[in-house]
Amino acid sequence: MHVNDRLAAPAHPARLILILSLAPTVGLGIGRFAYSLVLPDMRDALVWSYSAAGFMNTINAAGYLVGALLASRMIRRCLPQCVRITRRAV
């Protein structure tokens, strides 16, 4: 068996779905961190007060915290099942 034969084999659908779902996830994570850098320009362009901009930043941080907590809970709950699926796929 040649190396090229191994590369030509189609990927398992579960693996492909996982890989394709990681790109938007990473993009959203970077966007959440970049938001605080863009906020001063948004405040100026939208003519927000410091209170309104602070409220928006607080809501963003709360959303990030809730998402992180829910993700950790989902990982603990679903990880054993995901490991079994991955073992069957490989």
- pLDDT tens sequence for the chain (90 residues): 555 555 555 667 778 888 888 888 888 778 777 887 888 899 999 999 999 999 988 998 898 889 888 888 888 877 767 666 555 655
> CA 34 to CA 69: how far, in whole Å?
20
Task: Report the pLDDT value the prediction gives residue 6, as an integer from 0 to 100.
Answer: 55
Task: Report the pLDDT value the prediction gives residue 2, as an integer from 0 to 100.
Answer: 56
> CA 35 to CA 32: how far, in whole Å?
5
Q: Reduced to 3 states, what is the DSSP secondary structure of residue 90?
A: coil
Q: How many residues does the chain have?
A: 90
Task: Report the pLDDT value the prediction gives residue 26, as an integer from 0 to 100.
Answer: 84
Task: Report the pLDDT value the prediction gives residue 44, as an integer from 0 to 100.
Answer: 93
> SS3 breakdown of the chain: % helix, strand, coil, rounded to 5?
90, 0, 10
> CA 75 to CA 68: how far, in whole Å?
10
